[in-house]
Structure 1
Amino acid sequence: MVEAVADDVDMIQHLDDMAMTGRVAAIRARTETRELAPEDCDDCGEDIPIERRRAAPWTRRCVRCQMLAERAFGGRA
């Protein structure tokens, strides 16, 4: 029974990884076709709000994309 639970968890993790890979590929495809300005999010291409850029001038992502990246990469993004 424990083995079946582990298999389910592994499958869910695998599907989640596949979905994240697809999302990352879609974002890259959208943003690689245009040149980004320094105030544009590297992931989605939308403007990074001025308040965020003032608070964290080194940032390359909007808040939403940063949260998604941290979730995807376990805080290593």
Structure 2
Amino acid sequence: MADNADRAAELVERHLEGALASRPRFVGVDMAAADCEECGDEIPAARRQAAPWATTCIECQGIRERRARHAR
């Protein structure tokens, strides 16, 4: 019989598996997105090299973070 801790661990594992399955898969910096998904401008090479998972330019990322802070 599963207790609350077992059910919580199972739920966390399922969420983690889902998050990992939906993440972008980058083999290297060359595979990083070249264009910002928000504004469509090119993401600078230095940002792509420093954060190959980035899908937005630094300006749009700043806007996202400010919106997230205001949403709390």
Unaligned runs of at least 5 residues, structure 1:
1-37
**What do residues 4-26 of structure 1 show as CA deviations (whole Å, max 9, x unaligned)?**
xxxxxxxxxxxxxxxxxxxxxxx
- Consecutive unaligned residues of structure 2, counting only runs of 5 or more, are 1-32
- Counterpart among 50, 58, 65 of residue 63 in structure 1: 58
Deviation at 1:40, TM superposition (A): 0.3
* 1:45 maps to which of 36, 40, 45: 40
Matched pairs, number:
39
Runs of 4+ residues over 6 Å off in structure 1: none
Percent identical among aligned pairs is 45
TM-score (ref. length: structure 2): 0.50
* More helix, by proportion: 1
For normalisation by structure 1, the TM-score amounts to 0.47
The superposition leaves residues 12-65 of structure 1 with CA deviations (integer Å, 9 ceiling, x where unpaired) of xxxxxxxxxxxxxxxxxxxxxxxxxx2100100000000000000000000000
Higher RCO by CA contacts (8 Å cutoff, separation 6 or greater): 2
Q: Equivalent residue for 1:35?
A: none
Larger radius of gyration: 2
